[in-house]
Amino acid sequence: MSTQHKDVYLVIGGSGFVGRHIVEQLVARGDVVSVFDIVQRHHDVPFYSGDITDEQDVLNAIRKSGTTCIIHTASPQHGAKDPSIYYKVNVDGTQAVINAAVAAGVRKLVYTSSAGVVFDGKDVINLDERAPYPEKPFDAYNDSKAKGEALILEANGKGGLLTVALRPAGIFGPGDRQMMVGLYQVYQRGQTHFQVGGNNNLFDYTYVGNIAQAHLLAAEKLVDSTTSDSTSITSASTDATLV
């Protein structure tokens, strides 16, 4: 039997597509959860308004909510005009989240990375977390996600903090604000008569509910081997995982 106490969750980016599903699953199983985001789109759990590039904003939310586990899903969406926003939020902002977590003695930090961190424009087949980041990243978004992910993994063990990163590929499901919207815009612009490739391109898509569940499982399995029972997976599981 595990002797672990229940975590108190803070979902950073919890007003977003993935973050919202994580919040809903936590609420459904009776966990205590708050949201930290720059915008509030839902009103049923405690909400902390703030920007992750402001360490003090994050620290205040952690302290007020009594957070023991952060799930950090925040990121600007792909396609921003000014790529500097990606580095500001995904790299500097993620570092601020780590700093605040360590300062407040948070136990766990789960990060939503992206399968794009190992994409350089060439086919990616059967790659796992042992593959290095590409020398030439595909674009600023993916480069910033890789740099943010590296910070998260390096922070494992700092001040007792345990970290893990998940790498979803394409995500579909209720609340999607990118994929179906993009496909529909292509249709509206009458661009459907183009074909890229020989009709044999493959890409991974995962239902958002499964992505959310993966975050909950990652948080659950992220335990310190010195305080866990023998059935728990230790912090060796903190390598990035392709979901």
Among 25, 45, 76, 120, binds ligand NAD (CB under 6 A): 76
Q: How far is the CB of 230 from ligand NAD (least distance, A)?
A: 33
Tokens for 177? 């604000």
Q: Does 75 bind ligand NAD (CB under 6 A)?
A: yes
Burial class (CB in 10 A: 0-12, 13-18, 19+), 6: exposed
Distance of CA 116 to the CA centre of its chain: 13
User: How far apart are CB 143 and ligand NAD at their closest, in Å?
Assistant: 12
Contact in structure between 143 and 220 (CB atoms under 8 Å): no
13 near ligand NAD, judged by CB under 6 A: yes
Least distance in Å: CB of 1 to ligand NAD?
Answer: 34
Q: How far is the CB of 68 from ligand NAD (least distance, A)?
A: 20
Choose one: 71-79, 95-103, 128-136, 150-158; the region binding ligand NAD (CB under 6 A).
71-79
Establish if 142 lies at the interface with ligand NAD (CB under 6 A). no
Catalytic residue among 6, 88, 136, 145: 145
Over the window 87 to 116, marking each residue x when it contacts ligand NAD by CB under 6 A and - when it does not, the resulting string is --x---x------------------x-x--
Distance of alpha carbon 222 from alpha carbon 236, whole angstroms: 9
Longest dimension (CA), the chain: 59
The answer to whether residue 139 forms part of the interface with ligand NAD (CB under 6 A) is: no
Pick the binder of ligand NAD from 52, 61, 117, 151 (CB under 6 A): 52
Query: Interface mask (CB under 6 A) for ligand NAD, residues 165-204, using x and -?
Result: ---x-xx-----xxx-------------------------
Distance of CA 124 to the CA centre of its chain: 21
| Nearest distance in Å: CB 166, ligand NAD | 9
**Residue 39 binds ligand NAD, judged by CB under 6 A:** yes
Tell me, yes or no, if 145 is annotated catalytic: yes
Q: Pick the closer one to ligand NAD by CB: 19 or 223.
A: 19
Q: Which residues are catalytic?
A: 145
Applying CB under 6 A, the residues found at the interface with ligand NAD are 13, 15-19, 37-39, 51-53, 73-77, 89, 93, 112, 114, 145, 168, 170-171, 177-179
